[in-house]
Structure formats: C-alpha cells, structure tokens
C-alpha cells in the first residue's frame, strides 16, 4: 500500500461538553484541577440508579433545552451535540457570509435511543400508543440533520457509526472531504447521551465498574459510561486564511483498520491497535519518537487496556511517550469519545497540556504502562496521538501536530 502524506488540514476551533462541564473552559478547568466528573446517576431514568457510577452531564433536558432553544423533548444526544457544535462554530469564527462550503460530520452510536426507549414502553403495552415524536429521531442521522439545520449547514451532512471509534472516523472522513475539494471547512466529531439501552447493554456484558474506573491499572474492574459531545473545526489552508482566527494545530495523520478478531473483544496482542497507531504515524510523516503525548483509548476494561497496552509496548518499546486515559475524568462516552478526546488532544498541542490518568496505582502485570498521574504543561509538545477503538474490531488513530 502506498501512503500519501495528508494535505494541510488545520484545526480552527473546538467545542466540548462532558461530565466535566458544558463548555471548553469548564472541561479544561476540571482537567487541570484533577477533578473527575464520575459520580452517581442523577438524570438518567434507570433502575440501576443506585448501582453504577457514570460520567453524566450535570444538566437536565429542560436546562439543555433552555440553553439551546431546542425543545426539551428533543433527544439528549441532539441537545449535547448542538451545544458543542455551536461552541466550535463560534470558536472558529464561522459565519455564513464567508461563502465557504461548510460540512457537518457527526458520529453517534445509538441516535435518539433515549427517546425510543420511552416510546417502546408505551408501544409494547398497546401498539396504537406511544408518541411518534419519540421515535421519529431514532435514526443516528436524524440527530446530525437536526443540528446541521439549526446551524444552517447544508453543503454536506454525514453520520458515522462504528461504535466507540465513531467520532475519530467522522473527523478524518471530514478531513478527506476537504482534501478532495468537496468542502472548505467541516465541523467534525460526535455526540452521545446516556441511555438505558447502552447502560443495560454494557451491564449485560459485565464490563461496568460500579465504582469510578481505573484505566490502565492492574486492578481495573470495568468502565464507567459517560455522555457529552466534542467537535473540532477542520479547515483547508485556503479557508484558514479567510477565518479571523489562528489555527490551534493541524490534523496530520490518521488510520483505520479492523482487528477482525471478534465482535466485541480485541485480540490479546492488540493487532488492530498496533496497526492503527503505526498507520497513522506513517501517514503523518513523523518519526514515532516525535510523539510527545498519547491520549489512549483506555476504557478500563480488562480486554481493551491489556490489548492497547500490549500494542503500545510493542510499538514504542522502552521509549513510551507520556500517556493517559482521560476516561477516568469523563467516563466512556462511546460515539462521542473520539470527538471529546480530539478536543483534549488539540488543547494539548495548543497549550502543552498533559492530562493525568486519575486513580492510577498499580501497573498492569502483562502490559506495564506508567501513565501520567498529575497535570503538567510541556511546552515542547509537537505531536499528540489519540486512539479510539470499538466493538466490531474498529480501530482508529488520529495525530495532531503543531501548525
């Protein structure tokens, strides 16, 4: 396979919400302070309320409705998506008068499932019942279109769903659409709301930790689900020159492979993770020792962390860069995780931020990684790698580089 270097794709803006807060400033503040967003379930209407710790966005749908101007009956996925996409739009100084062709590429894993599950309770009791407005937004793409219309974006809207790697794939699909000349600018990332469907699904797989999770730790017991949205604004060099803002960094490399090992588990040797990281480094044209920080996928499940850890050690040997999983802060936000962590990675390049891996105590016996345990600033950070791996063997890696 021939690898061609990526054309210059700049990151012109970011927007994020998560258990750490409703905007970038709140998220960065919590990351710097080392304050985790994981806690008991407050808003999700589930029987398991007292059982599991989650990374919930600390606002009701009514509050999010007021904040967005959307109906509080809108899927929470769309509410969170719009807030972060709008922040990214404003941050990049976008406006419709520029004449730029703007796209919106957004990921999510279960669309408007939070509403579909309400519909199903009524529908199952009586097939003539159940509010249709609760099921109209079931499709993943409906969420994207709703937000795109509110932002006034119509040149290109697209939705990608590859489980937990969805957002990373959305981001680099957008970059390729710009490179190919279809778009000048794209808001790309993803959104995910907590649902009973996903909480019960992950519970049935027995990979939820009732307590706050411990990514990359020998004594990790599983993941905490989280919710939120994260988007970055990608721009071509020409579009960048038209925006009245300075680029944070470039998206310099990406890669997507399939582990093709099992529907839900990763190969123990981390074949997919290894190939994904190696491919992205090759694409970015840098040497792997130039990578200053890795935002690992690090879900805190036995399987992922061992598989990813093994791949990291195989790829970097003794020369591992600084690394951490920010999921100890936010929980695993599934379809949004690649977007949220892309924002954190962009901030790492822009400000030198290196985030701690909260609650880390004991290295994994079979893949001993030593993640960062306190927040620091590294002014020499030039390249950051971000991993996103999902069910179905979908592995994707992004690399951000100083502009």
Partner 1 sequence: MKTKVYIRSSGMISPQNTFGKSITLENPVLPGGNRMNAIEPDYKQILDAKSIRRMSRIIKMATAAAQECMDAADLKQPDAIITGTAYGCLEDTITFLERMVENQEEMLTPTAFIQSTHNSIGAQIALTMKCHGYNNTFVHRGHSFEQALLDAMLLIAEGEMKNILVGGVDEITDTSHAILSRFGLFRREPVVSDLITNPGKGTIQGEGAGFFLLSSEASGDDMATLDHLALHFKPSGTHDLLDFINQEMEAQQISIEDIDLFVLGLNGDLKNDSEYDVLQSAIRDHQKNAFFKQLSGEYPTAVSFALWLAATTLKNKKLPFSGPGMSSRGNMKRVLICNAGLDGHHSLILLSAC
Sign of the CA dihedral with 192 first, then 197, 200, and 202 last: negative
For residue 399, the cross-strand partners are: 253, 385
Is the distance from CB of 202 to CB of 33 less than 8 angstroms?
no
- Is residue 233 within 8 A of residue 13, CB to CB? The reply is yes
Which one from 213, 297, 383, 395 is the annotated catalytic residue?
297
> CB atoms < 10 A from the CB of 193, how many?
33
Which residues form the interface with partner 1 (CB under 8 A)? 1-4, 46-48, 109, 111, 116-117, 120-121, 123-124, 127, 132, 135-136, 138-142, 144-145, 148-149, 154, 156-163, 169, 173, 176-177, 179-180, 196-197, 200-201, 203-205, 256-264, 271-272, 275, 390-394
Burial class (CB in 10 A: 0-12, 13-18, 19+), 152: exposed
How far does Cα 167 stand from its chain's mean position?
5
- The CA distance from 145 to 136, in Å, is 12
Exactly one of 173, 255, 332, 383 is catalytic; which is it?
332
Question: Catalytic site residue 332?
Answer: yes
Q: Report yes or no: 389 and 45 within 8 Å, Cβ to Cβ.
A: no
- Minimum CB separation of residue 129 from partner 1 in Å reads 10
Beta bridge partners of 394: 258
Say how far apart CA 164 and CA 395 lie, in whole Å.
Answer: 9
Residue whose CB is less far from partner 1, 194 or 349: 194
Per-residue HEC secondary structure of 142-211 comes to: HHHHHHHHHHCCCCEEEEECECECHHHHHHHHHHHHHHCCCCCEEEEEEEECCCHHHHHHHHHCCCECCC
Burial of 5 (0-12, 13-18, 19+ CB in 10 A): exposed
Cβ proximity to partner 1, 22 vs 107, nearer residue = 107
Q: Which residue carries 């939820």 as its tokens? A: 208
Rank residues 163 and 286 by Cβ distance to partner 1 and give the closer one: 163
CB of 176 to partner 1, least distance (A): 5
Question: Which of 164, 213, 249, 395 does the annotation list as catalytic?
Answer: 164
Q: Residue 297 catalytic?
A: yes
Do 108 and 190 meet the contact criterion of CB atoms below 8 Å apart?
yes
Per residue, the 3-state secondary structure of 211-272, as one string, reads CCCCCCECCCCCECEECEEEEEEEEEHHHHHHCCCCCCEEEEEEEEEECCCCCCCCCCCCHH
Enumerate the active-site residues: 164, 297, 332
């Amino acid at each position: 396979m021939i690898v061609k270097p990526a054309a210059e794709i700049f990151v012109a803006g970011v927007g994020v919400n998560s258990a750490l807060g409703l905007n970038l400033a709140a998220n960065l503040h919590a990351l710097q302070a080392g304050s985790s967003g994981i806690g008991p379930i407050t808003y999700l209407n589930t029987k398991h309320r007292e059982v599991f710790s989650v990374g919930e966005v600390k606002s009701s749908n009514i509050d999010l409705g007021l904040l967005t101007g959307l109906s509080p009956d809108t899927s929470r996925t769309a509410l969170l998506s719009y807030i972060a996409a709008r922040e990214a739009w404003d941050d990049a100084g976008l406006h419709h008068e520029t004449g730029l062709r703007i796209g919106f590429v957004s990921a999510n894993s279960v669309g408007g499932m939070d509403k579909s599950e309400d519909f199903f309770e009524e529908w199952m009791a009586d097939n003539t019942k159940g509010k249709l407005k609760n099921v109209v937004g079931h499709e993943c793409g409906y969420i994207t279109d709703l937000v795109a219309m509110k932002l006034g974006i119509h040149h290109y809207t697209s939705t990608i769903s590859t489980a937990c790697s969805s957002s990373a794939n959305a981001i680099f699909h957008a970059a390729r659409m710009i490179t190919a000349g279809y778009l000048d600018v794209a808001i790309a990332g993803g959104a995910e709301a907590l649902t009973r469907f996903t909480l019960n699904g992950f519970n049935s797989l027995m990979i939820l930790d009732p307590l706050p999770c411990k990514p990359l730790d020998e004594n990790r017991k599983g993941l905490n689900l989280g919710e939120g949205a994260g988007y970055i604004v990608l721009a071509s060099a020409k579009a960048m020159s038209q925006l009245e803002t300075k680029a944070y960094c470039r998206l310099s490399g990406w890669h997507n492979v399939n582990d093709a090992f099992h529907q839900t588990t990763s190969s123990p040797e981390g074949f997919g993770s290894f190939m994904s990281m190696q491919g992205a480094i090759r694409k970015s044209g840098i040497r792997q020792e130039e990578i200053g920080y890795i935002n690992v996928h690090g879900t805190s499940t036995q399987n992922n962390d061992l598989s990813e850890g093994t791949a990291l050690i195989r790829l970097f040997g003794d020369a591992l860069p600084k690394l951490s999983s920010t999921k100890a802060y936010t929980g695993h936000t599934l379809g949004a995780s690649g977007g949220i962590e892309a924002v954190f990675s962009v901030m790492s390049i822009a400000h030198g931020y290196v985030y701690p891996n909260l609650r880390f105590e004991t290295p994994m016996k079979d893949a001993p990684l030593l993640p960062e345990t306190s927040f620091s600033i590294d002014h020499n950070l030039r390249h950051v790698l971000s991993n996103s791996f999902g069910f179905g063997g979908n592995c994707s890696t992004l690399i951000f580089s100083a502009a």
